[in-house]
Amino acid sequence: MEHKEKTQLLRSEEILKIIAKYIEKNDFCDRSTIITVNDVILNDKMDKAEVYISIFPKEKELFVFQAIEKDVYNIQNYLNKNLKCRFAPRIKLLLIQEK
């Protein structure tokens, strides 16, 4: 594994943990809803990150995802403060639709 690949992997894991912690701390839903940050994919320049989120139960996923999406500015600021690197990537939240 090359240095760049290792760096991307470590940084994506760190971003995943930080965003999951933010979602856990902030109350986006009631106790009957499960929100999971499944994956973070960084581009080659490591300046953009796609964050994949799944929400259960299916009936609440659009409502909860919209609430999280509205708070993306605060999530980005939280990431900027807590990520241990010079530049934090811009995040894009994506919903994983369960069948």
Give the model's confidence band at 99: pLDDT under 50 very low, under 70 low, under 90 confident, else very high: low
- The secondary structure of the chain, three-state, reads CCHHHHHHHHHHHHHHHHHHHHHHHCCCCCCCCEEEEEEEEECCCCCEEEEEEEEECHHHHHHHHHHHHHCHHHHHHHHHHHCCCCCCCEEEEEECCCC
Residue 98 above 80 pLDDT?
Answer: no
Residue 22 above 80 pLDDT?
Answer: yes
Give the model's confidence band at 15: pLDDT under 50 very low, under 70 low, under 90 confident, else very high: very high
pTM above 0.85, yes or no: yes
> pLDDT, tens digit, for every residue of 50-91?
999 999 999 999 999 999 999 999 999 999 999 988 889 999
